[in-house]
Structure 1
Amino acid sequence: MLFSSIVFLFTFLPIILILYYIAPGRIKNLVLLLGSLLFYAWGEPVYIFLMIFSIIFNYVSGLDIARNLRNKHAKKRSLIFNIAVNLCVLGFFKYEGFVLDSLNAVFPFHISYQELPLPIGISFYTFQILSYIIDVYRENVKVQKNFMDFALYVTMFPQLIAGPIVKYAEIEKQLHVRRTSWNKFGDGAMFFIRGLSKKVLLANTVGMVFTEVTTLPAGQISVLSAWLGCAAYTFQIYFDFSGYSDMAVGLGKMFGFEFEKNFDYPYISASITEFWRRWHISLSTWFKEYLYIPLGGNRVSVGKHIRNLLIVWFLTGLWHGAAWNFVAWGLYYGVILIIEKYLLAPVLEKLPRFFGHLYSLLLVMIGWVLFFSPSFGSAAGYIGMMFGAGAHGIVDRESLYLLTTNLVLWVILIIGSTPVVHKKYEAVVCRKGQEKVIVNCMIYAVLFILCVAYLVTETYNPFLYFRF
């Protein structure tokens, strides 16, 4: 079930909100838990059993680690066993086909297998569970003894299937005590509508431009068309994923929770290092805290630091998808970050920020080609067309049509990728005062109506990160 769907907006969400707010005290957690399980089972009912297994197994594992906190060997064995089981479950469902296809490409014999549908959100909730288990092991948090509260932490539907990855320490207290109010509910509703607008009005619209370019025959794509297609995907994945994250934060507020933001205008970055401090913040933080720092971080020799970065970015790419192009995408960023760290950092600091911005945006766009391409060959071919190799001229009628007919959209996307509009809006419209409140409510009401009108009339409504 998508957040950007009529059934969610006008059936599931209103019902669970009503039940949640009329439920007394601790029953609220039960209502939210049952609603989250229903939400997860909506699309793939069979995988609800996998979810229940993960909840029970990790609840027991947490208790076992907590019981052996003074026995280092026992708690370490329990931790290793837990991580192994969680990663095996993730590996089986997400990487079985990838591994066997890779082996079949190398060995003279063929290993047959049946491809299974990927459980939605398995990468997100597996990492979320692992953060809890590791933090219990480190004694950073106390073990959760209430089974229902632990199950709610794992399954909470606002961020269950596509993040942000919420660490247990961030909401440990909120599982027991959280504040709800009309002001907070209103803030949550605005966050949700803002994210819905990003997803429906911007990401879906520019996504059709990307589809139009990539469905052209290979010999009919000009240089300008190739760049416009890449730009369209660059905007689509940002507004798609950041829009979903905003909706998740907004829903959390509506139920009294506070989730950390997952995006901070990454396309205004002046370096790739800065880009990854602003893009998918919860994932970057997870890898930093649970892999990069335990490996030694940057407090080691240069050789080991480079090793650590390559390991982290190899796994970051693999986390995003079971294909070699995702691995290449991760290593691509790993190599760039190493070069920035040891060679380019002093140069970028001296240059005007504008040049750093262009440098970063160019590398990010090339990276997205690796990300959206089905193979290395197609990625290399597409990047070649962006720079003239194999392209159908520099400019053609199709590229001019895509540029001019979507000119207003391109301008909106560019401005919307920066904090300019949001800051101006907050300064002018969000000030206190009855008139300002009315104007604010009217603007968000219009945005919501436009989103609903789009969803009723259009069938193009993908969510890119569901496949991860």
Structure 2
Amino acid sequence: MFFNSLAFAIFLPIVFFLYWFVFNKNKSTQNALLIVASYYFYSCWDWRFLFLLVFSTFLDYYTGIQIEKGKSEKSRKFWFWLSILVNLGFLGIFKYYNFFASSFSELLNTIGVKASPILLEVILPVGISFYTFHGLSYVIDIYYKRIKAEYNFVDYSLFVSYFPLLVAGPIERATHLLPQVKVKREFNFQTAKEGIYQIVWGLVKKVVIADTCAVYANAIFDHYTSVNSLSLILGAVYFAFQIYGDFSGYSDIALGVSKLFGLDLLRNFNYPYFSRDIAEFWRRWHISLSSWFRDYLYIPLGGSKGGIWMKIRNTFIIFIVSGFWHGANWTYVVWGFINAVYFLPLLLSDSNRNNIDTVQLKFNFDSVRVLMNIVLTFLLTCVAWVFFRAKTITDAVLYLKTIVTNGNFSSQYLDNERYNYELLPMIALFVLVEWNNRTKVEPISGRRSMLKLAIAIAVIIALGTYSDYKEFIYFQF
């Protein structure tokens, strides 16, 4: 069930009505309703994988209690590693087994040893990377005594399976969401209104920006050998806005939907394309994942407290693992490696925390420098996105090489159904709107919010007529 589908447009009001007008006696009945709704929501993808979600939930619930109750460090470690290994084991089997089997087979064939890998004919369960990380952070926090174990199975189940964040995040923390789950919610009209605004803005990003950019970006990347330099550059730019509109749009819808139920989720995007360096970009892009790897991988490895080689090692580990988290393909690993290379000079020069405020521009020379830094950061990000989008590393390298060697920057017509250069003014308008509202969670709120809402809905309807209700990109992760 997609957020941008008719099925969800029917599902959400029904759950909202039952939540506030039928099951509103206490938080337990509200939570039970949300669990049932979440399991139904997930089963719409493939009901057979519900057992994975339920098993993962029970595993971390039970091991969390055993870790807290453990009378010896040996006992606590046993339950801790049982949870970690089983969770990562399921993730590895479903997401990475075929990748490693194929890669090992190719390595053997390269050195002259004939090998045929035994591959699993399984599909990737939707959202497995996200709900697995929910459980992992919960168990890790209990082991290190940052939180207490949750003994109410219904409350914990909702924390793991809550449908707005179930299939594509944000990656929640027990310290943030569980306390909200454990208390009764009261309806707040202002919060609900903000939620609706955020849902609509998320749909603008998805339907108006991401889905329309996807048409042109796909045409370019799928036929990159037959188009010129200008088209290749535009293809990279269009994909940059496609993935931003797609993923941040999903996150906005998730946060907005959750506000309708009186629950606050972690913010996942904070206008990342206005970043002045790569370090700032990663503080603003997929914030819940970046902070997860920072807290549960980077800092335990020593962070940036050790010597220069430890800093370099930890930086490359966190970015490469982050890339690999996105999918079982070497292109994601290279994408992570490239971002580590971008980040390293900032870390070594101790300037990775220089830009932590909201960017401001004035009519002076310093603002020209800031603007140039924003453009440069965006261009570097687009280069890395080529590897993220390409099917193979070879495709990505040839794509970038052709931009340099083709040398043809003339206007080129592409034989696709709709949209070409008409996208550029639409993207420019989108950037202008976001820039003007970069200090807000989403642009529709504030003065003349109802007029903004009406315009946004009109644009969604106008361009949504041509939308194929495309799947969200991050559903495959």
Measured in 2, the distance between the counterparts of 1:155 and 1:332 equals 34
Q: Is the 8 A contact 2:444 2:453 kept in 1?
A: no
Change (3 A) 1:47 1:453: farther
Contact residue 97 and residue 115 of structure 1 kept, 8 A? no
Query: How far did residue 42 of structure 1 move?
Result: 0.6
Report how far residue 229 of structure 1 moved.
0.3
Superposed, 1:14-33 pairs within 5 Å as 14-22=13-21, 23=23, 24-25=25-26, 26-33=28-35
1:330 equivalent to 2:336? Answer yes
Q: Which residue of 1 aligns with 2:78?
A: 77
Q: 1:428 to 1:216 in 2, by over 3 A?
A: closer
* Contact 1:272 1:360 (8 Å CA) reproduced: yes
Q: Displacement, 1:197?
A: 1.4
Aligned AA for 2:155? D
Q: Choose the corresponding residue for 2:62, options 60, 75, 100.
A: 60
Q: After the TM superposition, which of the residue ranges 87-96 and 193-202 deviates more from structure 2?
A: 193-202
Deviation readout 1:255-275 (Å, 9 max, x if unpaired) = 010112111111111111111
> What is the deviation of 1:114?
2.9
Shift of 1:420: 1.1
Q: Quote the RMSD (CA, aligned, Å).
A: 2.4
C-alpha displacement of 1:251:
1.0
- Cα distance in 1 for residues equivalent to 2:443 and 2:82: 52
- 1:282, CA displacement in angstroms? 0.4
Aligned to 2:111: none
**Cα offset for 1:426?**
8.9
The answer to whether the 8 Å contact 2:276/2:377 transfers is yes
Counterpart for residue 216 of structure 1: 223
What corresponds to 1:43 in structure 2? Answer: 45
Q: Say whether residues 1:444 and 2:445 are aligned partners.
A: no
Deviation at 1:71, TM superposition (A): 2.1
Number of aligned residue pairs: give it: 454
How far 1:310 sits from its partner (Å)?
1.3
Matches within 5 A, 1:142-161: 142-161=148-167
2: CA distance between counterparts of 1:375 and 1:344?
Answer: 34
1:7 is matched with 7
Task: Give 3-state SS (helix, strand or coil) of 1:85's partner.
Answer: helix
Contact kept? 1:203, 1:240, Cα under 8 Å = yes
Instruction: Classify 1:114/1:423 alpha carbon distance in 2 versus 1 (closer, same or farther; 3 Å).
Output: closer
> One-letter code of the match for 1:361?
F
**Aligned counterpart, 1:463:** 472
* 1:225–1:398 CA contact under 8 A, matched in 2: no
What residue identity is the alignment partner of 2:5?
Answer: S
Contact 2:237 2:382 (C-alpha < 8 Å) held by counterparts: yes
Which of 183, 197, 208 pairs up with 1:190?
197
Q: 1:191 to 1:402 in 2, by over 3 A?
A: closer
Cα–Cα, structure 1 residues 57 and 452, in superposed 2: closer, same or farther, change >3 Å? farther
Query: What are the Cα deviations for residues 104-130 of structure 1, in whole angstroms up to 9, with x where unaligned?
Result: 101221122233111001111111111
Q: 1:314 aligns with which of 317, 320, 336?
A: 320
Distance 1:275 1:427, change over 3 A: closer
Worse-superposed segment, 102-111 or 364-373:
102-111
Deviates more, 1:34-43 or 1:16-25: 16-25
Gaps of 5+ in 1: none
Question: Which structure 2 residues correspond to residues 373-392 of structure 1 after superposition, within 5 A?
Answer: 373-387=390-404, 389=405, 391=406
- 1:449 positional shift: 5.0
Using the TM superposition, give the Cα deviation of residue 59 of structure 1 relative to its aligned residue in structure 2, in angstroms.
Answer: 0.9
Partner AA of 1:249 in structure 2: L
Partners of 2:69 and 2:458 lie apart in 1 by 53
Does structure 1 conserve the Cα–Cα contact (< 8 Å) formed by 2:386 and 2:396?
yes
Q: Distance in 2 between matches of 1:31 and 1:446?
A: 34
Taking a change above 3 Å as real, the CA distance of residues 397 and 422 of structure 1, as seen in their structure-2 partners, is: same
Please name the residue that 1:420 is paired with. Answer: 436
Seq. identity, %: 34
1:430 aligns with 2:446: yes
Separation in 2 of the partners of 1:344 and 1:255? 42
Q: Name the SS of the counterpart of 2:169 in structure 1.
A: coil
Q: Deviations over 1:355-413 (max 9, x none)?
A: 322221121000000100010110001111222x2x37232432799764334223224
1:316 shift after superposition = 0.4
**1:76-106 CA distances to partner (integer Å, 9 max, x unpaired)?**
2211121011000001000011011101101
Deviation at residue 216 of structure 1 after TM alignment? 3.2
SS in structure 2 opposite 1:231? helix
Query: Are 2:233 and 2:403, in contact at CA under 8 Å, matched by a contact in 1?
Result: yes
Amino acid at match of 2:93: F
Q: 1:96 to 1:446 in 2, by over 3 A?
A: same
Q: 1:396 to 1:408 in 2, by over 3 A?
A: closer
The whole-number CA distance in structure 2 between the counterparts of 1:397 and 1:39 is 43
Which protein has the bigger helix share?
A: 1
Counterpart Cα distance in 2 of 1:203 and 1:317: 21
Distance in 2, matches of 1:310 and 1:248, equals: 31
Give the conservation status (yes or no) of the 8 Å contact 1:242–1:262: yes
Shift, 1:451, TM fit: 2.7
1:242–1:263 CA contact under 8 A, matched in 2: yes
1:288-331 C-alpha deviation (Å, 9 max, x unpaired): 10011111111111111211111111110100110111011111
Q: Counterpart of 1:271?
A: 277
